[in-house]
Amino acid sequence: MAITMQGSWTIRVASKNAAFAQHFVVTGADVGNGTYDGVVGTAVFASGAQWSINIQNQAPAQPWRDSAQRITFPTVSGGLVRFDIDSNDSGPDADYDDLVLTCSMPATASDYLVYGTVKTYSGRCLFNPCRDDYVVIDPPFSVLNLCTRFPELCGPLTRLYPERIVKPRPLPDPPPDVRPLVIPTGAPSLRTGVVFQSRLGSMPMGAVPRAEAKGARKGTEAASFERFEAEAVERLQTSARMVTFNAAPARAGADLLTAADFRAIAAIRDGILRFHCDSAVAPGLL
CA distance 258 to 189: 18
Number of neighbouring beta carbons within 10 Å of residue 98: 25
Tens digits of per-residue pLDDT, 40-97? Answer: 989 999 999 999 999 999 999 999 999 999 888 888 888 888 999 999 998 888 889 9
Q: How confident is the model at residue 204, as a pLDDT?
A: 54
CA distance 100 to 71: 10
CA distance 28 to 49: 9
What global pTM score does this model have? 0.68
Beta pairing, strands 181-184 & 68-71: unpaired
The continuous run of DSSP H or E covering 36 comes out as: strand 34-37
3-state secondary structure 221-233: HHHHHHHHHHHHH
Q: Do the beta carbons of residue 223 and residue 42 sit within 8 Å? A: no
Q: Do the beta carbons of residue 56 and residue 65 sit within 8 Å? A: yes
Counting residues of the chain whose pLDDT is more than 70, the rounded percentage is 84
Helix, coil or strand: residue 282: coil
Tens digits of per-residue pLDDT, 94-126? Answer: 889 999 999 998 888 877 777 777 788 888 777
Q: How confident is the model at residue 229, as a pLDDT?
A: 83
